[in-house]
Structure 1
Amino acid sequence: MGLRVSLSAGKGRSLVRASMALTVAVVLTLSGACAGAGGSGGSGDGEDNPTVGLLLPGGGASRFGQFDRPLIEKKLKELCPHCPTTFAATPDPAIQRQQLESMITRGVDVLIVAAVDPELLRPSVEAAHRAGIPVVAYDRLAQGPISGYVTFDGAQVGKLQGEALLKGMGAKAPGGQIVMMNGATTDPNAAWFKQGALDVLRGKVKIGKSYDVVGWRPENAFVDMRSAIAALGGGDIDGVLAANDSLAGAVISALRAAGVRSLPPITGQDADLAAVRRIVRGDQYMTVYKPYKSAADATAEMAVAAGRGESVGSIATGTVDSATTKDIPAVLLPPVSVTVGTVKETLVKDGLYTISQICPPSLRAACAEAGLI
């Protein structure tokens, strides 16, 4: 995978632990009045009020549109009320590259980038560097000269999924047969998640089939799961390690389409509302929740500091290596495992969802059984 993680003492030890709709429009948002705009490019005041470009791999109803974007923009406004923000989102790597290059041309002062395809985006990151525009990688480690990186500990994500899957399989765990539905090979996080899960599962279960789902796309996961069912038999699959909630939903659809009535335990990630409802219903066993506010806050802090020409070292808790760059200042945050019994103490307590959002009328009985109402 080419990712090496190094943590600083004290603070580092304490912290370590996709939308299918194509959104290609670039939306310009001015956060507050920008009197006297001019500076080093964009429409901000240069070093004091840098213009921030935010590029995400999804918008709208995706996790990135629902949580990451508003949280990052809110923190940016708190830290720098007069910093303009330019936003763009797309799951298409070629379009994201165009969006990034458009922001360079526009003259932003700093970029926050969650790369769809880190390798494909590398020349654009290098172009930003040549233009004197620092890049903060968010969630996914982009290649090229990155100034900082904020994400959740991917190895721990995979570990939580693997541990939960074994627990969900119960008596079937020793020697039971599973299917692994991993993320896209273009995303370095996918390999990170996969390795973390394998560290837990290897030698304890039989991996009947393992897929790296192209583009993280649910429709591809559905086809892969149908192939697994055809090869292994729906009744002989004792668990499914699905790398995120969108893939988990596709796995469930494929199993249902094949006539499997009693679903095996299925993991997930991102705490999508639809997935949380599936967990309450009993269709999905768990998800991995990432307290997005912590990541958004650290990212905004790095971006404002970098945009002002300041060091991000005091914000970082350690360093990581990408395939191209060593010792990138990084913040790695702890993910949280969520099952039906912990929805209230995690997602509801943190304000991610309300009970009324999780429990529509069709789920009232299941919610009552789960102790949510």
Structure 2
Amino acid sequence: MRTRPWHVVAGLVAALMTMPLAACGGDGETGADSFTVGLLLPSRAVPRWEQFDRPLIEKRLKALCPHCAMEYANADNDATRQQQQMISMITKGVRVLILDAADTRALRSSIQQARQAGVPVVAYDRLAEGPISGYVSFNGAQVGKLQAEALLKAMGDRANGGNVVMMNGDPASSNAAWFRSGALSVLTGKVKIRRSYDTPGWSTENAHANMSAAIAALGPGRIDGVLAANDAIAAGVISALKSAGVQKLPPVTGQDADLDAVRRIIKGEQYMTVYKPFRTEAAAVAAMAVALGRGGSLRDVATTATDSPTTRHIPSVLLTPRAVTVGDVRQTLVKDGVYTIGQICTQALRPACDRAGLDVRRS
């Protein structure tokens, strides 16, 4: 995957959130603004898709195009189902598709069918293969680097030659390899990667099974850190460590800032997560979809270009992720309105929240 910068992206967030309707093209006539956008998300296993991405995209679409409608489907980690959902939407007459592919290779033929039907496809969060018209995501290499840098910091003296288990993402997602390469660019030569596993479906259950195998092979006391690709995987890692009787958990990374993960961070069970401001990502993809639906260009939205294995120069927006440890929760997730302190700090977590500077009584 290669990207080429087009221009400086300072002010992108504000521009996307305040972009007037005219900026997306179109003549303001209701006829030009009464089309349907299809949204296809990959699963329910990762909480963010249903809790954040879907409602944020729908809200931003309505803000940009009040007369537009949204058709929605979730693949539940089934690429064949997503292909059927995609063809169904094309048959129903959607004008644009936003696709977060359950399998970035398997959807290639369906994307080609969409192109032949004159329906542009915007790849969301994962870079799908095939003739896509636009792409919005976060810089995956930076995600992996943030995880690895945080892991080394948490490992302390053991960051020099310590034993690490890598719990990678779903091999059907192009992002999994991107995250892994970013992490390895930091870890290689500093720690020993004792075991490395893929996690089909980003599933907590699969992660638990893989981590249990790593513990059996290495011994519970010989794992100094775990590079978990996302929070669902981190949950499986931590449950496996607890099941094995590990009293002092090694540092475990994550991604997506799931509410349960944030609570684990407060409790000291998970060291960090990677926060990807979903509102900005949703705003960018909505702007792309509306521009394409109105027959316009993506020049005012895209800030870079990306090459996929099949398509060159894809107009893209690649956003910047942020690492979140216990000391960052207030200034990131709470400040941005992702969660309130009351949502994070259950009654059982009140003492830990107080120590973390998250006093519910002052929120």
Say yes or no: TM over 0.5: yes
AA at the equivalent of 1:9: H
TM-superposition CA deviations, 1:57-111 (whole Å, max 9, x none) = 1359821100001110000000000101101112211111110010011110000
Distance verdict in 2 for CA 1:75–1:155, change over 3 Å: same
User: Are residues 1:5 and 2:19 paired?
Assistant: no
Please tell me whether the aligned partners of residues 179 and 209 of structure 1 are also in contact (alpha carbons under 8 angstroms).
yes
TM-superposition CA deviations, 1:1-47 (whole Å, max 9, x none) = xx1111123228989xxxxxxxxxxxxxxxxxxxxxxxxxxxx9764
Matches within 5 A, 1:143-222: 143-222=129-208
Match of residue 102 from structure 1: 88
Match of residue 254 from structure 1: 240
Match of residue 269 from structure 1: 255
Match of residue 276 from structure 2: 290
AA at the equivalent of 1:268: G
1:229 to 201, 212, 215: 215
Shift of 1:313: 2.0
Match of residue 60 from structure 2: 75
C-alpha distance in structure 1 between counterparts of 2:206 and 2:333, whole Å: 29
Match of residue 50 from structure 2: 65
Distance verdict in 2 for CA 1:92–1:318, change over 3 Å: same
Match of residue 29 from structure 1: none
AA at the equivalent of 2:50: G
Please tell me whether the aligned partners of residues 45 and 203 of structure 2 are also in contact (alpha carbons under 8 angstroms).
no
C-alpha distance in structure 1 between counterparts of 2:144 and 2:46, whole Å: 24
C-alpha distance in structure 2 between counterparts of 1:160 and 1:61, whole Å: 20
Please tell me whether the aligned partners of residues 60 and 66 of structure 1 are also in contact (alpha carbons under 8 angstroms).
no
Please tell me whether the aligned partners of residues 110 and 306 of structure 1 are also in contact (alpha carbons under 8 angstroms).
yes
Please tell me whether the aligned partners of residues 175 and 205 of structure 1 are also in contact (alpha carbons under 8 angstroms).
yes
AA at the equivalent of 2:287: E
Match of residue 92 from structure 1: 78
Matches within 5 A, 1:113-152: 113-152=99-138
2:323 to 311, 317, 337: 337
TM-superposition CA deviations, 1:336-362 (whole Å, max 9, x none) = 100000000000000000001100000
Distance verdict in 2 for CA 1:101–1:14, change over 3 Å: closer
C-alpha distance in structure 2 between counterparts of 1:174 and 1:333, whole Å: 31
Please tell me whether the aligned partners of residues 285 and 340 of structure 1 are also in contact (alpha carbons under 8 angstroms).
yes
Shift of 1:369: 0.8
Unaligned runs of at least 5 residues, structure 2: 14-28
Shift of 1:213: 1.2
- Root-mean-square deviation (CA, aligned residues, Å) is 1.6
TM-superposition CA deviations, 1:307-359 (whole Å, max 9, x none) = 11101122101111111111100000000100000000000000000001100
Q: TM-score, normalized by length of structure 2?
A: 0.92
C-alpha distance in structure 2 between counterparts of 1:120 and 1:7, whole Å: 29
Please tell me whether the aligned partners of residues 167 and 229 of structure 2 are also in contact (alpha carbons under 8 angstroms).
yes
C-alpha distance in structure 1 between counterparts of 2:34 and 2:2, whole Å: 34
Superposed structure 1 runs of 4+ greater than 3 Å apart: 12-15, 44-47
C-alpha distance in structure 2 between counterparts of 1:45 and 1:57, whole Å: 32
C-alpha distance in structure 1 between counterparts of 2:31 and 2:295, whole Å: 10
Distance verdict in 2 for CA 1:173–1:142, change over 3 Å: same
Distance verdict in 2 for CA 1:266–1:60, change over 3 Å: closer
C-alpha distance in structure 2 between counterparts of 1:118 and 1:178, whole Å: 28
C-alpha distance in structure 2 between counterparts of 1:179 and 1:273, whole Å: 24
Please tell me whether the aligned partners of residues 59 and 66 of structure 1 are also in contact (alpha carbons under 8 angstroms).
no
Q: TM-score, normalized by length of structure 1?
A: 0.89
1:51 to 36, 46, 52: 36
Match of residue 21 from structure 2: none
Please tell me whether the aligned partners of residues 291 and 335 of structure 1 are also in contact (alpha carbons under 8 angstroms).
yes
